[in-house]
């Protein structure tokens, strides 16, 4: 790979990201599946970077899941989105930062629609007014939370306790990135580095001293197309997509899969378990699987946050191997204890993939 | 004393060579075995890629001949080297020349050799040349019964790229000719359905690909598959079979007229003239030039030159270019 | 192994890195004309068996080249060996011989 | 008189061994014949067949008539060896009998008689006997001399390629070649020493014994002679010389009506052992003469089968054109044996379950163009034009869809697959209620006639058209065209149809007869029975075949097989290759008037034209 070529592309796809005063919007899936990870983001932003991140208790889902499964009509989703925009302005913010890539895609798509079809925006304003008596304005700046972490990656890396380097060999760890489809595939100019060679996660890996691995199926979907996964009959298709990615990255023996989309984080993690149980195969050499982390989880880990406080025990593929390689201490006996030290119960052990307890 | 050049063949290549040598001041004798000049082009109605009338090209070539001595209905039997020149015996009289240009061209592939296509057997199986005649006479294709055809199929590569009839080479011009004729059929009979059965569409020249697009936009259907067999059915219509290779299924259809895109074949009779002069014949049966790249007009025999399609399938543009090059080579040879 | 009620779909993509093209290599060695097909479809269009079934000599050869030997071998069993394709082929591919060789591969490949 | 000397042991032991082994083999073969074949023997053994067989043994095994027909010198070589030796044995026995006044002697006595008796003064007709015995010995030796020459160069004996033999064969050959020179030497030395012998042995003997120490050769020569005989006899069952006793059995069995079936039988063993490996089949084979494939011919194939070491290559590398069957001096059914060997190993899982049942309209004559017919529409058109001209009521049963007749599968050994197709076609044919089946394809005609078991007669179109022409239903006016005719293998050697196409062509023009015709005609190279040769090789064969029928000296080359027509057309740009029917159309005087109604009729598929 010619790095100069990549850099050229990265330079062509840069976008403005606000410096401070963010309005934060949560992800349905991230909250449900990796609840510690959004908290980690807020800790990094507020405690480490000292930024103003506002979150409204009144904000809702973007209804993207419903929209993509054709349950929610376009008019409805536009109105829901407009309401969240209104909440932001009401709180005195204009920099909109969704945690979810699907949502990011939805917001981008709707803003683009309004740009090309102002009558849609007008109609949405009418609906919103009628339904909530609210007025809205488009965000002054919109960025995905992974963009924000990307923006401050060097600052975070400066403060980090650890690096993506093997403690024993001193060699950089090999990291593959997986970018959510809706991050830049629909609107390449809205993603850092574009759709073909996104830099949003690669930049983070580089900042932490890791080695970015390009593998052939880097661009392929993780398999979490809503229609594929939600309908059981289509799940074979969904898992085949992930499998294709794992097979493609396997020869490089990556130490970590880094994601920016909650759905991808979930699927790259869980399907490894499912494939191990179905076919008896893991894609590392040790029967552990390849650890999967979101950008904020990785940043937290590098900053020295406690893994269990960040909720990394919610990952099916054990993060322990990664922490061992880097030399991050952890206490296994604390893994399944609650915040107050209460016993949360240990999950049933899988048969074909290593489980740390 | 003015030197004399004998040119064998009064088609495009011969006429252009004659014209150039004439303007260079040579005495030119042009031998043509038929009674008309212009070769195959004279029998054509319109030309690709701009559908210009073929007669324009032929008359422009014949009208600019100056002092060329044109001998029509004169068949050359032999050419012999004598002293520094050549003796050409034609129609039982001898002619002397200082240099000889073979511009003997080609013959159309005899389509009846491809028996399974039914030419000469089924009344509505015609060749691309027959269709040009129809365009000339009627301005449109007509069935043998006189009826207006509704469905017409063009079959590419008849006598080209076919080892079963010993024509393994591509004739270069038939693809674009078929595309041109398909458009003309659609223009003459807008309600007709036109199909082209091709193996690979080779539209390499300027404006050819545009012609292909025009045919598509005019509704010509292109089917990637070679015709394998045909039979005559009711009303003299023809049932044809091919594989739709893009769909991987056999395909059959009945059509009113089948047009066979006959390729260019070497003219065996003139190949004898060439071999008698010590020229060699290439693997495809055409006259071999000295060097395919650096000397495409010269031959193994000093003073004997070649021009045009006697060296292999060619379109008019390339033939005219070759003829100009040949004239220059003849001039260099005679003024050495 | 656990049955979750679904299994990963097998990709329909042709993966020439993983494809087993041994039969194609073997056939090319045994009959060099195997390599000469230009997919014109003459053989399939004239095929006696092809009137009644999906059998296509051309497609069979193509499948072998892509490594789908098993399917191709199964297809070869439909050929009537009548020889029309040999007469129709513009590239002189020795079709009947290739069918015979494929059928033999069927009896010798485990 | 008690004749004995130790040196007779090698000969006697060898002879005893040979007799026992041959007898055992014969008994084994006959015992293993199937019931039908045994029945044929029982029915015919005491009839004229045995007499005919005896006569054939004399003309073929002794006189080698067929080899004479091929080449005089080759015939003479075989005849002098076989017939000369036979006469030597007969005369030797007579001589001994005469001398001992009818006494029964051990078998070695007549062989070594010159050793045992030097004074033949009491022998009646002594002069004649001694003369004849010397003469016969010289006769045999002349054959041996030719055999020596054949090893060196086989050309003068009319053979381009001689069989390549194995070591054991060469050993047997050497001992055979030594027998007669040693006999001559032993008898001559004896004659020289004892003033006995005939005109030649005495003369030679005297010349030899005049050399110093020649008398020392006396015993060694007789020993050597006996040993060479013994060695030869012992080697016979293991070598090609087994053909000598086996051919006799074969001739008898064949005269009783036994033939190859569609699988190997005990009779096949007799045929395999009757092959003398003379190699005449190599020269008759176009794979050898045109393509240089000279290691798969019947002689090699039969040997490999006899040794149970045959290979796919040997089984498959043959066009089954049948030329060698007719060239074989022993008359072995080479092609049938080869085909049966192909039947031993059919490809697995050929399945025609997908073939539907096809129906055709009814008609008096069922016309079948076959697969190839679809690629030669002019043949079909010409034949149907002639049918219309002659007012034949026909139904074209494979106009819309054809099922292959099965013959191409059959020649590749796929018997059961072929049967499956035959079943489908039989339904189609019988469903038309036709009184006869006519096909333009000899390949189809052959399997229709030989394997379908149809209740109606099967005609090749040349046979059927000949009937129409001969009866005047088809009116033909000869043109001035010169025509040469190529016999298709399946039609000629396969079905024995040689005359009808020729007679038809004579009705239509001037037929030029050529040397290689009928049973000796060459294959066009298109054979479906071989798959391993490529199109270029087929064309090479076709060009030679066209040459052999003088294609360049005529207006038209006629054939009667669509495959031959296609093969020739692909090979040659120069010649006009037409089916017999196409040539007939040119000469048919009632076809022109009927052109119009014919077109109408074609639209109806089946109908009558008057």
Mutation site for D-interface testing, chosen from C57, C83, C101 by largest number of D Cβ within 10 Å: C83
In chain B, residues 104-123 whose CB comes closer than 8 Å to chain C: 116
- The tens digit of pLDDT for each residue in D309-345 reads 999 999 999 999 999 999 998 999 999 999 999 999 8
- The tens digit of pLDDT for each residue in C50-83 reads 989 999 999 999 999 999 888 888 899 999 999 9
In the predicted structure, residue A195 carries a pLDDT above the cut 70: yes
CB proximity C74 to B under 8 Å: no
C46 lies in some domain: yes
Mutation site for D-interface testing, chosen from C31, C45, C55, C82 by largest number of D Cβ within 10 Å: C82
- The reply to whether residue B199 touches residue C40, judged by beta carbons under 8 angstroms, is yes
The 3-state secondary structure of D343-373 reads HHCCCCCCCCCCCCCCCCCCCCEEEECHHHH
CB contacts of B169 in chain C (<8 Å) are none
Which tokens hold the place of B334? 């005679």
- The reply to whether residue C45 touches residue B248, judged by beta carbons under 8 angstroms, is no
- The reply to whether residue C51 touches residue B250, judged by beta carbons under 8 angstroms, is yes
CB contacts of D374 in chain B (<8 Å) are 116, 229, 231
Which is nearest to B307 in space by CA: B30, B104, B163, B131?
A: B104
pLDDT of residue D602: 39
Cβ neighbours, 10 Å, residue D132: 18
Band (D533; pLDDT cuts 50, 70, 90): very high
C11 lies in some domain: no
pLDDT of residue B48: 95
Let me know whether B253 and B272 are in one domain.
no
* HSE, side-chain direction, 13 A CA sphere, residue D322: 16
In the predicted structure, residue D590 carries a pLDDT above the cut 90: no
Cβ neighbours, 10 Å, residue D43: 12
Q: Report the C-alpha gap between D461 and D484 in whole angstroms.
A: 18
C neighbours by CB contacts (3+ pairs under 8 Å)? A, B, D
Q: Report the C-alpha gap between A64 and B131 in whole angstroms.
A: 62
Cβ neighbours, 10 Å, residue D567: 26
Q: Are strands B4-8 and B99-102 parallel, antiparallel or unpaired?
A: parallel
CB proximity C28 to D under 8 Å: no
Residue B306's φ and ψ, nearest 5 degrees, are -125, 150
* CA dihedral over D545, D550, D553, D556, signed as positive or negative: negative
Q: Which residue of A has its CA nearest to C5?
A: A232
Using the 3D structure, point to which of B215, B245, B263 is the last residue of a domain. Answer: B263
pLDDT of residue A9: 85
CB proximity C66 to D under 8 Å: no
Our CA-based measurement puts residue D538 at a distance from the nearest CA of chain B, in whole angstroms, of 12
Band (D595; pLDDT cuts 50, 70, 90): very low
Check residues A301 and B272 and name the one with the higher pLDDT.
A301
Band (D606; pLDDT cuts 50, 70, 90): very low
CB contacts of C92 in chain B (<8 Å) are 163-164
Q: Are strands B76-82 and B85-90 parallel, antiparallel or unpaired?
A: antiparallel
We find that the CATH architecture of domain A14-145 is Up-down Bundle (1.20)
Q: Which domain holds residue C45?
A: 22-108
The proportion of chain D whose per-residue pLDDT surpasses 90, expressed as a percent, equals 70
- The tens digit of pLDDT for each residue in D108-125 reads 988 898 888 888 888 878
Q: Report the C-alpha gap between A132 and A129 in whole angstroms.
A: 5
Using the 3D structure, point to which of B237, B263, B289 is the last residue of a domain. Answer: B263
C13 lies in some domain: no
Which is nearest to D559 in space by CA: D592, D507, D511, D607?
A: D511
Per the DSSP assignment, residues forming a β-bridge with D460 are D439
- The reply to whether residue C90 touches residue B243, judged by beta carbons under 8 angstroms, is no
- The reply to whether residue C4 touches residue A277, judged by beta carbons under 8 angstroms, is yes
Band (C109; pLDDT cuts 50, 70, 90): low
- The reply to whether residue C88 touches residue B251, judged by beta carbons under 8 angstroms, is no
3-state secondary structure of D477: coil
- The reply to whether residue D348 touches residue C52, judged by beta carbons under 8 angstroms, is no
CB contacts of D349 in chain C (<8 Å) are 74, 77, 106
Let me know whether B87 and B187 are in one domain.
no
We find that the CATH architecture of domain A153-334 is 3-Layer(aba) Sandwich (3.40)
pLDDT of residue D240: 86
Using the 3D structure, point to which of B263, B286, B315 is the last residue of a domain. Answer: B263
DSSP state for residue B162 in the 8-state scheme:
B
In the predicted structure, residue D212 carries a pLDDT above the cut 60: yes
Q: Are strands D606-607 and D394-396 parallel, antiparallel or unpaired?
A: antiparallel
Let me know whether B258 and B274 are in one domain.
no
Overall average pLDDT of the D508-520 stretch: 92
Q: At C49, which CATH number?
A: 1.10.1060.10
Let me know whether B131 and B215 are in one domain.
yes
Let me know whether B175 and B316 are in one domain.
no
Per the DSSP assignment, residues forming a β-bridge with D482 are D510
In the predicted structure, residue C110 carries a pLDDT above the cut 70: no
- The reply to whether residue C97 touches residue D531, judged by beta carbons under 8 angstroms, is yes
Q: Report the C-alpha gap between A199 and A204 in whole angstroms.
A: 8
Let me know whether B328 and B230 are in one domain.
no
Mutation site for C-interface testing, chosen from D371, D444, D490 by largest number of C Cβ within 10 Å: D371
The 3-state secondary structure of D249-283 reads HHHHHHHCCCCCCCCCCHHHHHHHHHCCCCCHHHH
- The reply to whether residue C78 touches residue D351, judged by beta carbons under 8 angstroms, is yes
Let me know whether B299 and B259 are in one domain.
no
Overall average pLDDT of the D515-525 stretch: 93
In chain C, residues 36-55 whose CB comes closer than 8 Å to chain D: 46, 48-49, 51-53
Q: Could you tell me if D75 and D67 are in contact, meaning their C-beta atoms sit under 8 angstroms apart? A: yes
Our CA-based measurement puts residue B201 at a distance from the nearest CA of chain C, in whole angstroms, of 12
Q: Report the phi/psi class of residue A4: left, alpha or beta, with left for phi > 0 and alpha for psi in -120 to 50.
A: alpha
Q: Under an 8 Å CB criterion, which residues of A touch C?
A: 232-233, 235-237, 239-240, 243-244, 274-275, 277-280, 351-352
pLDDT in tens, chain B (336 residues): 799 999 999 999 999 999 999 999 999 999 999 999 999 999 999 999 999 999 999 999 999 998 899 999 999 999 999 888 999 999 889 999 999 999 999 999 999 999 999 999 999 999 999 999 999 999 999 999 999 999 999 999 999 999 999 999 999 999 999 999 999 999 999 999 999 999 999 999 999 999 999 999 999 999 999 999 999 998 999 999 999 999 999 999 999 999 999 999 999 888 889 988 999 999 999 999 889 899 999 998 999 999 999 999 999 999 999 999 999 999 999 998
DSSP state for residue B204 in the 8-state scheme:
-
Let me know whether B101 and B212 are in one domain.
no
DSSP H helices in D71-215: 72-99, 108-111, 113-116, 126-152, 167-194, 199-209
C10 lies in some domain: no
> Cα torsion for D216, D219, D221, D225, to the nearest 10°?
180
C28 lies in some domain: yes
DSSP state for residue D490 in the 8-state scheme:
I
Mutation site for B-interface testing, chosen from C40, C47, C87 by largest number of B Cβ within 10 Å: C40
- The reply to whether residue A277 touches residue C1, judged by beta carbons under 8 angstroms, is yes
Q: Which domain holds residue B25?
A: 4-105+267-334
Let me know whether B81 and B24 are in one domain.
yes
CB proximity B142 to C under 8 Å: no
ipTM entry: 0.81
- Say which of C2, C5, C11 has its CB closest to residue A244: C11
CB contacts of D371 in chain C (<8 Å) are 48, 82-84
Omega cis (within 30) before B49 = yes
Q: Could you tell me if B226 and B153 are in contact, meaning their C-beta atoms sit under 8 angstroms apart? A: no
Question: pTM of the entire structure?
Answer: 0.82
- The reply to whether residue D348 touches residue C48, judged by beta carbons under 8 angstroms, is no
Q: At B161, which CATH number?
A: 3.50.50.60
Q: DSSP for chain C?
A: ----S--PPPP-S--TTT---HHHHHHHHH-GGGGG-----HHHHH-TGGGTSS--HHHHHHHHHTT-HHHHHHHHTT-----HHHHH-TT---HHHHHHHHHHHHHH--
Which is nearest to D514 in space by CA: D480, D546, D560?
A: D546
In the predicted structure, residue A127 carries a pLDDT above the cut 50: yes
- The reply to whether residue B229 touches residue D374, judged by beta carbons under 8 angstroms, is yes
C2 lies in some domain: no
In the predicted structure, residue C49 carries a pLDDT above the cut 50: yes
> How many domains are contained in chain B?
2
- The reply to whether residue B118 touches residue D374, judged by beta carbons under 8 angstroms, is no
DSSP state for residue D492 in the 8-state scheme:
I
Q: Report the C-alpha gap between C101 and C29 in whole angstroms.
A: 11
Q: Are strands B99-102 and B304-306 parallel, antiparallel or unpaired?
A: parallel
pLDDT of residue D563: 96
N- to C-terminal Cα separation, chain C = 28
Q: Could you tell me if D417 and D343 are in contact, meaning their C-beta atoms sit under 8 angstroms apart? A: no
Mean pLDDT, chain D, integer:
90
Let me know whether B258 and B169 are in one domain.
yes
Cβ neighbours, 10 Å, residue D404: 29
For chains C and D, having 3+ Cβ pairs within 8 Å is answered yes
B neighbours by CB contacts (3+ pairs under 8 Å)? C, D
- The reply to whether residue D377 touches residue B113, judged by beta carbons under 8 angstroms, is no
Which tokens hold the place of A320? 């322990």
In chain B, residues 21-80 whose CB comes closer than 8 Å to chain C: none
Tokens 């130790």 sit on residue: D6
CB proximity C50 to B under 8 Å: yes
- Say which of C4, C9, C11 has its CB closest to residue A278: C4
Cβ neighbours, 10 Å, residue A104: 33
Let me know whether B325 and B181 are in one domain.
no
Overall average pLDDT of the D553-565 stretch: 96
- The reply to whether residue A277 touches residue C10, judged by beta carbons under 8 angstroms, is no
CB proximity D403 to C under 8 Å: yes
Which is nearest to A256 in space by CA: A303, A204, A221, A305?
A: A204
CB contacts of B165 in chain D (<8 Å) are 570
- The tens digit of pLDDT for each residue in A222-263 reads 998 888 888 888 899 999 999 999 999 999 999 999 999 999
CB proximity C88 to B under 8 Å: yes
> Cα torsion for D480, D486, D490, D492, to the nearest 10°?
80
- Say which of D375, D381, D603 has its CB closest to residue B229: D375
pLDDT of residue A155: 97
Overall average pLDDT of the A278-283 stretch: 95
- The tens digit of pLDDT for each residue in D244-301 reads 999 999 999 999 999 999 999 999 999 999 998 888 899 999 999 999 999 999 999 9
Query: Count of B–D CB contacts within 8 Å?
Result: 31
> How many domains are contained in chain C?
1
Query: Count of B–C CB contacts within 8 Å?
Result: 68
Let me know whether B77 and B123 are in one domain.
no
Helix axes D266-274, D8-32, angle to 10 degrees: 140
Q: DSSP for A216-241?
A: GGGGS--S--HHHHHSGGGHHHHHHH
Q: Report the C-alpha gap between A8 and A199 in whole angstroms.
A: 11
Q: Report the C-alpha gap between C86 and C75 in whole angstroms.
A: 18
Q: Report the C-alpha gap between D84 and A60 in whole angstroms.
A: 118
Q: Could you tell me if C40 and B225 are in contact, meaning their C-beta atoms sit under 8 angstroms apart? A: yes
């Amino acid at each position: 790979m010619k790095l100069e070529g990549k850099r050229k592309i990265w330079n062509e796809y840069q976008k403005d990201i606000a410096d401070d005063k963010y309005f934060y919007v949560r992800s349905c899936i991230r909250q449900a599946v990796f609840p510690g990870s959004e908290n980690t983001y807020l800790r990094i932003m507020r405690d480490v970077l000292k930024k103003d991140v506002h979150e409204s208790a009144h904000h809702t889902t973007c209804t993207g899941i419903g929209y993509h499964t054709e349950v929610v009509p376009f008019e409805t989703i536009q109105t829901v989105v407009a309401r969240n925009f209104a909440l932001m302005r009401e709180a005195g913010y204009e920099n909109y930062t969704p945690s979810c890539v699907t949502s990011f895609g939805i917001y981008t798509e709707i803003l683009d629609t309004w740009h090309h079809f102002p009558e849609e925006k007008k109609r949405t304003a009418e609906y919103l007014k009628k339904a909530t008596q609210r007025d809205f304005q488009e965000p002054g700046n919109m960025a995905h939370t992974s963009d924000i972490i990307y923006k401050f990656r060097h600052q975070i890396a400066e403060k980090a306790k650890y690096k993506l380097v093997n403690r024993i060999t001193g060699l950089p760890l090999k990291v593959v990135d997986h970018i959510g489809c809706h991050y830049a595939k629909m609107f390449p100019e809205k993603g850092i580095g574009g759709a073909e060679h996104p830099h949003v996660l690669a930049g983070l890996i580089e900042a932490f001293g890791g080695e970015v691995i390009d593998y052939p199926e880097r661009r392929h979907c993780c398999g979490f197309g809503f229609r594929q996964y939600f309908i059981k009959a289509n799940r074979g298709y969904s898992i085949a997509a992930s499998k294709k990615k794992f097979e493609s990255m396997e020869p490089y023996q990556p130490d970590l899969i880094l994601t920016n989309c909650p759905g991808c984080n979930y699927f790259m993690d869980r399907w490894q378990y499912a494939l191990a149980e179905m076919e008896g195969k893991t894609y590392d050499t040790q029967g552990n699987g390849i650890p999967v982390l979101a950008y904020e989880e990785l940043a937290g880990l590098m900053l020295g946050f406690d893994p269990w406080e960040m909720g990394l025990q919610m990952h099916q593929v054990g993060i322990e191997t990664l922490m061992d390689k880097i030399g991050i201490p952890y206490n296994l006996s604390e893994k399944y204890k609650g915040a107050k030290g209460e016993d949360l119960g240990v999950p049933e052990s899988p048969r074909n993939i290593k489980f740390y307890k | 004393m003015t030197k004399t050049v004998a040119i064998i063949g009064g088609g495009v290549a011969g006429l252009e060579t004659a014209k150039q040598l004439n303007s260079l001041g040579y005495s030119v004798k042009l031998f043509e075995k038929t009674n008309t000049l212009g070769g195959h082009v004279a029998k054509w109605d319109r030309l690709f890629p701009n559908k210009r009338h073929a007669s324009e090209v032929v008359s422009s070539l014949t009208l600019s001949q100056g002092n060329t001595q044109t001998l029509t209905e004169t068949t050359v039997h032999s050419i012999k080297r004598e002293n520094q020149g050549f003796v050409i015996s034609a129609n039982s009289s001898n002619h002397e020349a200082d240099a000889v240009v073979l511009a003997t061209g080609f013959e159309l592939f005899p389509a009846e050799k491809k028996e399974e296509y039914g030419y000469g057997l089924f009344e509505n199986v015609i060749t691309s040349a027959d269709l040009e005649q129809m365009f000339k006479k009627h301005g449109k294709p007509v069935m043998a019964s006189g009826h207006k055809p509704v469905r017409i199929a063009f079959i590419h590569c008849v006598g080209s790229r076919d080892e079963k009839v010993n024509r393994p080479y591509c004739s270069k011009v038939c693809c674009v000719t078929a595309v041109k004729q398909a458009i003309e059929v659609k223009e003459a009979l807008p309600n007709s359905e036109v199909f082209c059965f091709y193996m690979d569409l080779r539209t390499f020249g300027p404006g050819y690909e545009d012609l292909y697009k025009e045919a598509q936009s005019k509704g010509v259907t292109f089917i990637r598959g070679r015709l394998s067999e045909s039979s005559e059915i009711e009303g003299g219509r023809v049932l044809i079979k091919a594989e739709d290779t893009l769909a991987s299924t056999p395909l059959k259809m009945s059509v009113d007229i089948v047009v066979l895109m006959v390729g260019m074949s070497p003219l065996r009779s003139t190949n004898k003239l060439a071999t008698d002069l010590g020229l060699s014949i290439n693997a495809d049966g055409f006259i071999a030039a000295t060097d395919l790249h650096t000397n495409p007009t010269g031959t193994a025999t000093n003073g004997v030159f070649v021009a045009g399609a006697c060296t292999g399938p060619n379109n008019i543009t390339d033939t005219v270019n070759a003829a100009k090059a040949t004239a220059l080579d003849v001039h260099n040879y005679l003024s050495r | 192994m656990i049955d979750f009620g679904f299994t990963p779909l097998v990709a329909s993509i042709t993966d020439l890195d993983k494809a087993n093209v041994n039969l194609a290599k073997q056939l090319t060695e045994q009959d060099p004309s195997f390599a000469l097909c230009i997919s014109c479809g003459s053989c399939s269009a004239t095929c006696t068996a092809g009137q009644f079934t999906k059998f296509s000599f051309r497609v069979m050869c193509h499948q072998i080249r892509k490594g789908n030997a098993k399917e191709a071998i199964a297809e070869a069993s439909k050929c009537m060996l009548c020889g029309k394709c040999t007469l129709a082929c513009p590239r002189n591919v020795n079709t009947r011989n290739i069918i015979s060789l494929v059928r033999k591969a069927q009896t010798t490949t485990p | 008189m008690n004749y004995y000397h130790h040196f007779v042991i090698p000969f006697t032991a060898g002879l005893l061994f040979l007799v026992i082994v041959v007898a055992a083999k014969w008994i084994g073969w006959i015992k293993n014949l199937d019931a039908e074949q045994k029945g044929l023997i029982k029915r015919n053994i005491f009839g004229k067949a045995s007499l005919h067989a005896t006569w054939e043994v004399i003309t073929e095994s002794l006189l080698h008539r067929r080899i004479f027909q091929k080449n005089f010198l080759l015939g003479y070589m075989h005849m002098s060896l076989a017939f000369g030796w036979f006469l030597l044995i007969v005369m030797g026995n007579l001589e001994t009998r005469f001398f001992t006044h009818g006494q029964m002697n051990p078998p070695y006595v007549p062989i070594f008689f010159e050793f045992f008796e030097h004074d033949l003064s009491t022998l009646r007709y002594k002069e004649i006997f001694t003369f004849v015995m010397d003469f016969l010995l010289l006769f045999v030796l002349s054959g041996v001399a030719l055999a020596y020459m054949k090893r060196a160069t086989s050309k003068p004996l009319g053979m381009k390629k001689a069989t390549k033999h194995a070591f054991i064969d060469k050993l047997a050959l050497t001992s055979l070649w030594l027998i007669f020179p040693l006999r001559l030497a032993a008898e001559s030395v004896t004659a020289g020493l004892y003033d006995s012998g005939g005109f030649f042995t005495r003369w030679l003997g005297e010349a030899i014994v005049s050399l110093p120490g020649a008398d020392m050769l006396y015993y060694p020569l007789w020993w050597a002679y006996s040993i060479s005989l013994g060695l030869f006899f012992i080697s016979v069952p293991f070598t090609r010389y087994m053909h000598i006793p086996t051919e006799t059995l074969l001739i008898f069995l064949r005269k009783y009506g036994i033939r190859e079936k569609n699988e190997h039988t005990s009779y096949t063993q007799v045929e395999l052992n009757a092959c003398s490996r003379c190699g005449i089949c190599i020269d008759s084979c176009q794979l050898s003469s045109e393509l240089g494939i000279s290691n798969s011919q019947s002689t090699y194939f039969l040997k490999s089968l006899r040794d149970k070491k045959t290979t796919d290559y040997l089984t498959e590398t043959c066009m089954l054109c049948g030329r060698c069957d007719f060239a074989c001096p022993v008359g072995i059914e080479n092609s049938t044996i080869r085909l049966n060997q192909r039947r031993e190993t059919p490809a697995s899982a050929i399945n025609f379950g997908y073939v539907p049942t096809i129906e055709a309209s009814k008609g008096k004559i069922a016309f079948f163009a076959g697969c190839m017919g679809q690629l030669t529409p002019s043949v079909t058109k010409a034949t149907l034009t002639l049918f219309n001209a002659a007012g034949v009521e026909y139904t074209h049963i494979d106009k819309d869809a054809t099922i292959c007749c099965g013959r191409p599968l059959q020649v590749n050994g796929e018997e059961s697959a072929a049967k499956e197709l035959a079943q489908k076609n039989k339904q189609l044919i019988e469903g038309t209620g036709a009184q006869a089946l006519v096909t333009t394809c000899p390949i189809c005609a052959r399997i229709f006639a030989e394997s379908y078991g149809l209740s109606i007669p099967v005609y090749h179109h040349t046979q059927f058209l000949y009937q129409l022409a001969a009866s005047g239903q088809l009116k033909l006016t000869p043109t001035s065209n010169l025509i040469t005719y190529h016999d298709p293998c399946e039609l000629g050697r396969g079905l024995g149809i040689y005359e009808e196409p020729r007679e038809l062509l004579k009705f239509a023009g001037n037929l030029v007869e050529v040397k290689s015709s009928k049973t000796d005609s060459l294959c066009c190279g298109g054979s479906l029975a071989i798959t391993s040769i490529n199109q270029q090789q087929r064309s090479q064969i076709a060009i030679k075949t066209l040459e052999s029928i003088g294609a360049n000296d005529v207006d038209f080359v006629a054939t009667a097989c669509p495959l031959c027509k296609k093969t020739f057309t692909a090979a040659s740009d120069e010649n006009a290759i037409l089916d017999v029917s196409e040539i007939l159309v040119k000469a048919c005087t009632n076809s022109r008037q009927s052109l119009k109604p014919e077109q109408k009729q074609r639209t109806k598929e089946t109908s009558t034209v008057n």
